[in-house]
Chain A
Amino acid sequence: MTPAPTLALLVLILAALAVAQALRRARLWRRGRPAHVDWLAGLKALPRRYLHDVHDVVARDPYAARMHAIAAGGLITASVLGVFGLVPALGHSPVYGALLALAFAAALAGGVMVGRRRSPVKPARLSGGRFRLVPPALTAYAGGGLLVGIAILAGPGFAALGWLGVALAAAGAAVLVYLLGDGPMRHVFAGALHLAAHPRSDRFEGGRETALHPVDLAAPQKLGAETPADFAWNRLLGFDACIQCGRCEVACPAFAAGQPLNPKKLIQDLVGSLAPGGAPYAGSPYPNARPVAGVGGPELPIVGLGAMVHPDTIWSCTTCRACVEECPMMIEHVDAIVDLRRFQTMELGAVPEKAVQPLLDLRQAEEPGGRALAARGDFAAGLALPKIQDRPAEARPAEVLLWLGEGAYDLRYGRTLRALVRLLGAAQVDFAVLGAEERDCGDLARRLGDEATFQDLARANIATLSRHRFGRILTADPHALHVIRNEYPAFGGHLEVVHHSSFLDELVAGGRLAVGDLGAALPGAVTYHDPCYLGRYNGETEAPRRLLDRLGLERREMARSGKRSMCCGGGGGAPVADIEGERRIPDLRMGQASETGAAIVAVACPTCTAMLEGVTGARPEVRDIAELLLAAVEAAPPAAAPARQRQPEPVA
């Protein structure tokens, strides 16, 4: 026996133990609900998903990307090479020894980099605890392998060095196996399987699958998730994939505002509920955490004062998807939160106090403020707001159906919609509104977990929309856009929806709107705040910027913009849930806007408008892109404006 085959055996034992640990863990996942998984397609797509989707996210932190490539690549290459030590001829081959030494040297460098990340001071977003065992275990295993490689390279006289290497590698391997079952190394197999069996297989390779999955309200099982066993098994697998890198907690607006939510801790609480008594959590806690009993189990409730997670935690979420966008393990935090909310809302009726009335009004008046649907058009007093019901039957379909949304009832946002209606008039767009037939799109109900009310609203809206003839739906509300475009198809509504930023950009590009230079009228730069439901949920980040650039304004970007933008705090029913924190999310976001030195924050969403307008003190002005465009159209030189004489109005 020489060191080379012993190392090979060690690697094989390590692999066998890894499989055993994975199987043990898989027994836990199987306690979840069944889920349809296309294994063949998933496994086939696994390398692409890993190299493309995962790497794109990991590479946002270049150090972590290099570290992971060297550590994981080195470890796997070296271990596979190590198995070849069983071939007797290779056991003394200097070439083999050199290759082995090289691969293990890479893994060793990776292990050192892993260690350096936490030294001298562990960054707040990273976890301690068992994570501190990873660098020594990795370096011991890789260092031991390196010694074996050197011993083979150096020749038969150096067997003692080889044995020392084997001993070191065995010690490291033992710790790694320990960390594989219940520790940081679990992400190796859980992450790989999660990529293959991902519950949202269409989100990879440039796809965007952001619609919430519908609940079968007629199914006999309970609605939403009460216990870990109520999640689909591949969701439980996803929670296990978490490597606690903390990118989600850095991105989370509720965490930043000191509300009791930390996506990383929440996922670990879900893991801890499934497998109580596991590795203790050693990362950042929930800010201002409310006390809970901390009792959990596969069949025990997750949310509650006597359980693992305080209700305030799940109601703090704005469903902005920033955590999902940042997660290198492709975990779907928002789905988990909405599933937990669904059980709270639909089975327990345990919604936040201030959300009760809006949900009741959505049910009884199809509008969260309990206002008359016919009053939705009141903002347009004095402007022509043609109703689609008034169009003659023989007329051609309206070019666009203007979906006014919830913002129409808001006085501030009414100004934006007035600007939009005037722009449509100036561009001679043939548009119409639904009038009293427009119900709420159901976004609020769905995010608050009231799937039943959402489905009622969705079906009623789809029936209404299918009765009328129009080209596409135009809306200034990204929440309505997302719901109608991405979530109504599950209920049979396949509708083309365009956001007003894209539509207005088309109008200007097509020459239907003549635009003047706003630079003189509005001195100072403008910065654009991406609405989550437009940018992250729908990938539309370019049209609004293109439009702003056409207006002759200096555009500056905030540190967080585009798909990695920060939420205004208004999504997911968070304003009605109103969970107390230390700061307000819109204040934080407005602070980021102020940092750019811009005089104007351009917005494109009624919720963002309301949240950012609520910021007090000296701050940039909040203007919707429709308002800015209208100002630019009015600033256009008269010759360029369409030669349309207004009829003088009769004067009483």
Chain B
Amino acid sequence: MKVLVLLSAGRHPASGRAGPVPVELAAVRLGASLGGADLAGLHAGPDADAVADALGHGLARLHLQPLAPDADPLGALEAAVRRLAPDLVLAGNRGQGGEDAGLLPYALAARLGRPIVADAVALASDGDGLVAEQALGRGARRRVELALPAVVTVHPSAPPPLPFAFGRRRSGTIERLPAFAADAPAPAAPFEERPYRKRPKLIAKAAAGASAADRLKAATEAASGGGRVLVAPDPAEAAAEILAHLRAIGVLKR
């Protein structure tokens, strides 16, 4: 199986220094856990300085898709993935220190016409396909089977990255892919950057003035999903239930 891990140039949240993103290094480990997989990294950018340390975390090869610093990487990544034709593309569920929107894997999957599974914490190959364990809220896990080729993003609660080994970084190789004619500069970020300011914490209205136990209950229950669990329901019953829920939360007006 050919596995390609997308690596972005991250920034350490405290130091601001350029370096690989931990969740992408965790993706490298998941890729390596598939056993016998032909594992390589892919970075689109002017150079591989920021991501080269990934070679010390269990990656033997790294492809660099040369790209102007401010260009939109989507097209370049699409071209590189088509050229390298991996069975599985792994990515972190979001970057670190950039826009960190977590949208790129979806956009890339859409461009490639591949299915995407988000927030994997474990992978296992299963014949021609793949079994992924997905991280859901509150520690829940869901096992999904998917056919390859596919795109899978990795969740931060996946096993931590393999330890850094300088000798492996030293012996790892970086291969430059042919230059890509950038189709467009990255769209200007539709937001501005401001220093972070801590917001005052709001106490849930229902619990304000209530006992400590009530406030705790309100704080913890607010996050729970509610709803009903239907096991193997009749399609018509299921549809009716979905419609009722959508009406209840105001998505459908009638």
Contacts and interface: CB of A to CB of B under 8 A. Distances in A.
Interface of A: 217, 222-223, 345-351, 355-357, 359-360, 363-367, 370-373, 450-453
Contact of A348 (B22, B161, B165): B165
Most central of A217, A357, A363, A451 by chain B CB within 10 Å: A363
Given A349-B56, A349-B58, A365 B15 contact: yes
Interface stretch (B75-83, B135-143, B166-174, B176-184): B166-174
Nearest to B167: A347
A343 to B, nearest CB: 8
A223 B168 CA distance: 10
A450 B53 CA distance: 14
Contact of B15 (A350, A367, A450): A367
Given A349-B56, A349-B58, A365 B165 contact: no
Interface in B133-170: 160-168, 170
Contact of B170 (A217, A349, A367): A217
A367 B165 CA distance: 18
Given A363-B19, A364-B17, A365-B12, A357 B165 contact: no
Interface size grouping (class) on chain B: 20 to 34
A363 B53 CA distance: 10
B14 interface: yes
A360 B15 contact: no
A373 B12 CA distance: 12
Contacts of A217: 166, 170
B15 A349 contact: no
A347 B166 CA distance: 7
Contact of A356 (B17, B53, B58, B163): B163
25 contacts: A217-B170, A346-B167, A347-B165, A349-B58, A349-B163, A350-B163, A351-B163, A355-B163, A356-B160, A356-B161, A356-B164, A359-B164, A360-B22, A360-B164, A363-B19, A364-B15, A364-B17, A364-B19, A365-B17, A367-B14, A370-B12, A370-B15, A372-B14, A373-B15, A450-B164
A451 B14 contact: no
A-side interface mostly: helix
A349 B14 contact: no
A367 to B, nearest CB: 7
A631 B160 CA distance: 46
Q: Top 7 closest A-B pairs, CB basis?
A: A349-B165, A452-B166, A365-B15, A347-B167, A349-B163, A364-B12, A346-B166
B165 A359 contact: no
A61 to B, nearest CB: 42
Nearest to A351: B163
Interface string B16-35: 01010010000000000000
A349 B12 contact: no
B14 to A, nearest CB: 5
Contacts of B170: 217
Contacts of B165: 345-349
Contacts of A367: 14-15
Contacts of A356: 160-161, 163-164
Contacts of A453: 164, 166
A547 B165 CA distance: 44
Contacts of A350: 163
B164 A363 contact: yes
Nearest to B12: A364
A354 to B, nearest CB: 11
A465 to B, nearest CB: 19
Contact of B14 (A223, A365, A452): A365
Given A217-B166, A349-B57, A367-B14, 16 more contacts: A223-B166, A345-B165, A346-B165, A346-B167, A348-B165, A349-B56, A349-B163, A355-B163, A356-B163, A364-B19, A365-B17, A366-B17, A370-B12, A450-B164, A451-B166, A452-B166
A370 B164 contact: no
B171 to A, nearest CB: 9
Contacts of A450: 164, 166
Given A356-B163, A365-B12, A349 B17 contact: no
A213 B213 CA distance: 60
Contacts of B167: 222-223, 346-347
A570 B9 CA distance: 35
Most interface-central of A346, A363, A364, A450 (chain B CB within 10 A): A364
A359 B19 contact: no
Nearest to A359: B164
A453 B168 CA distance: 14
Interface in B60-74: none
Contacts of B160: 356-357
Nearest to B160: A356
Contacts of B58: 349
Contacts of A346: 165-167
Query: Of residues A350, A371, A373, A452, which shows the largest number of chain B Cβ atoms within 10 Å of its Cβ?
Result: A452
Given A217-B170, A363-B53, A372 B15 contact: yes
Interface in B158-212: 160-168, 170
B160 to A, nearest CB: 7
A360 B57 CA distance: 10
Contacts of B12: 364-365, 370
A217 B171 CA distance: 12
B163 A370 contact: no
